Amino acid sequence: MNTYVNPPQSPDRLLDRIPRVVLADTPTPLQEAPRLARMAGLTTLFIKRDDQTGLAMGGNKARKLEYDFVEILNQESDVVLTVGGTQSNHAVMTAAAARRKGLEAMIVLGGPGITEYQGNLLLDVILGTEIRYLKDNDRNEDLASAMDGWAEELRRKGRRPYTLPVGGSTGIGALGYVRAMREIAGQLPAGPSQIVLAVGSCGTFAGAILGAQLFMPGARVIGISVSRSRAEIAGRTMEIVRESAGILGCDVTLTGAGIESYDCYRGEYGVPTDSGREAILTCARLEGIFLDPVYTGKSMAGLLDLARRRILDPGIPTVFIHTGGLPILFAFERGLRDLADFTTVISPRREPE
Ligand SMILES: Cc1ncc(COP(=O)(O)O)c(C=O)c1O
């Protein structure tokens, strides 16, 4: 158990009275992964295919944006601003959602520099997203202050900007994963289960923890960090859970000790790890399912290691939430190029003239 929540009379009613703007194709499939399960020594492993939420090639952010966009549209904003790393999934999905609603998107990205327009960055430019880039700087505070300054400039020009924080991880956005947990509860056989997912800015994890309490009591929710330390995750996740519970109107008593996360698989944020690369190959070759090098490859590497070390219970169903991020794979072609050894190039036979 991650948290203690005073069960409200009807969690369904509490959730359903919060408005949302439909952006994701849901329910996403809960797919069994029998060969991966056997390899990991687990009786049952399911993959929740949130890489198939549809928006901007899929991913977890579509569920969060469904709640964020209610306020964006209520305020009659004409441009949505957000921030992220060079290959931000959140930024591209925000931009695609804005386009779907007839709005413009402007994003502040930060990182080591732009060497090529690949992966999500390519999708950003195809969407016609205006980008400001902070070279060699991906500090969240700097990105946020650049975004706020830009929004101010736009206001002075008579525009109506709306700013979304990093990862869209707010109490309202996290309701997307409260809802996702209700979906999973309806797809899984009844009984105890353990849910594993990637943790970045903590909104997905917070929503999953609160959603498990409301719709899957007794489920264990395990976060695999891709960036923050365990202590940082506990603090931020608690804040978001409390905020989400406040919006829903249910009580929560949380202790940081009750939040289960692992930060030993993260390496450096945005830089692929050996175990993440191995997990990408294993999952593709056993199940035909792709993972990405920044989020889901690392979180699957965590799942496989926790299974091997028997920290996961092999006897109860495990659910891996595939949070998407697949366009990023194409921006890391160089790290996977050696696999092309399998290719045999056959030159065209030239007929004599
Ligand atoms: C593909 C993918 N998975 C997982 C996460 C982590 O979600 P959160 O930021 O809500 O912790 C992100 C966040 O950017 C993501 O893009």
**Residue 169 CB less than 6 A away from ligand 1:** yes
Please state the atom number of ligand 1 nearest to the C-alpha of residue 201.
9
Check residue 32 and give its pLDDT: 98
* pLDDT exceeds 80 at position 146: yes
* pLDDT exceeds 90 at position 349: no
Interval between CA 351 and ligand 1 midpoint (Å): 54
217 & 251 share domain:
yes
Which tokens belong to 64?
């969060």
Which tokens belong to 159?
């525009």
Buried b (16+ CB within 10 A) or exposed e, 206-242: bbbbbbbbbbbeebbbbbbbbbbebeebbebbbebbb
Q: At which of 133, 167, 201 does a domain end?
A: 167
120 & 189 share domain:
no
Residue type present at position 326? L
Q: At which of 167, 200, 219 does a domain end?
A: 167
* pLDDT exceeds 80 at position 255: no
The answer to whether residue 352 is domain-embedded is no
CATH code at position 95: 3.40.50.1100
242 & 306 share domain:
yes
Q: Where are any strands of DSSP class E within 247-317?
A: 251-253, 260-262
* pLDDT exceeds 80 at position 256: no
* pLDDT exceeds 80 at position 340: no
| Domain count within the chain | 2
47 & 183 share domain:
yes
Nearest residue (by CA) to ligand 1, atom 16, is: 89
The answer to whether residue 345 is domain-embedded is no
The answer to whether residue 268 is domain-embedded is yes
pLDDT digits (tens, 9 = 90+) for 66-83: 999 999 999 999 999 999
DSSP assignment of 306-338 equals HHHTT-S-TTS-EEEEE-B-GGGGGGGHHHHGG
pLDDT digits (tens, 9 = 90+) for 7-46: 546 899 999 999 999 999 999 999 999 999 999 999 999 9
Closest CA to 303 of 270, 317, 241: 317
313 & 181 share domain:
yes
**Residue 327 CB less than 6 A away from ligand 1:** no
- d(CA 251, CA 214) in angstroms, rounded, equals 11
Interval between CA 49 and ligand 1 midpoint (Å): 14
**Residue 244 CB less than 6 A away from ligand 1:** no
Check residue 336 and give its pLDDT: 85
The answer to whether residue 346 is domain-embedded is no
- d(CA 349, CA 107) in angstroms, rounded, equals 50
Report the pLDDT averaged over residues 59-65: 97
**Residue 324 CB less than 6 A away from ligand 1:** yes
The answer to whether residue 342 is domain-embedded is no
Check residue 147 and give its pLDDT: 98
* pLDDT exceeds 70 at position 6: no
204 & 318 share domain:
yes
Do β-strands 220-225 and 194-199 pair in parallel, antiparallel, or remain unpaired? parallel
Contact 238, 259 (CB under 8 A): yes
**Residue 317 CB less than 6 A away from ligand 1:** no
**Residue 295 CB less than 6 A away from ligand 1:** yes
Please state the atom number of ligand 1 nearest to the C-alpha of residue 202.
11
153 & 33 share domain:
no
* pLDDT exceeds 90 at position 341: no
Check residue 5 and give its pLDDT: 56
Strand order in the sheet with 130-135: 130-135, 104-111, 79-85, 161-163
Probe target for ligand 1 pocket from 28, 60, 67, with the most ligand atoms within 8 Å of CB: 60
Tell me how crowded residue 32 is: count the other CB atoms within 10 A of its CB: 14
pLDDT digits (tens, 9 = 90+) for 282-339: 999 999 999 999 999 999 999 999 999 999 999 999 999 999 999 999 999 888 888 8
Report the pLDDT averaged over residues 274-284: 97
153 & 285 share domain:
no
138 & 13 share domain:
no
Please state the atom number of ligand 1 nearest to the C-alpha of residue 292.
1
**Residue 79 CB less than 6 A away from ligand 1:** no
Do β-strands 45-49 and 30-32 pair in parallel, antiparallel, or remain unpaired? antiparallel
pLDDT digits (tens, 9 = 90+) for 104-138: 999 999 999 999 999 999 999 999 999 999 999 98
197 & 288 share domain:
yes
DSSP assignment of 184-251 equals HHHHSPSS--EEEEEESSSHHHHHHHHHHHHHSTT-EEEEEESSS-HHHHHHHHHHHHHHHHHHHT-E
Report the pLDDT averaged over residues 224-241: 96
17 & 133 share domain:
no
| Mean per-residue pLDDT over the chain, rounded | 94
The answer to whether residue 350 is domain-embedded is no
**Residue 202 CB less than 6 A away from ligand 1:** yes
51 & 185 share domain:
yes
Q: Among residues of the chain, what percentage have pLDDT more than 70?
A: 96
pLDDT digits (tens, 9 = 90+) for 83-94: 999 999 999 999
The answer to whether residue 20 is domain-embedded is yes
Please give the C-alpha separations between residue 42 and each of 35, 187, 303, 304, 323, in angstroms, as whole numbers. 10, 19, 11, 9, 21
**Residue 203 CB less than 6 A away from ligand 1:** yes
Binned at pLDDT 50, 70 and 90, residue 1 comes out as very low
Q: At which of 138, 167, 196 does a domain end?
A: 167
Range of the domain at 92: 62-167
- d(CA 155, CA 347) in angstroms, rounded, equals 59
* pLDDT exceeds 70 at position 353: no
Contact 161, 80 (CB under 8 A): yes
The answer to whether residue 343 is domain-embedded is no
* pLDDT exceeds 80 at position 50: yes
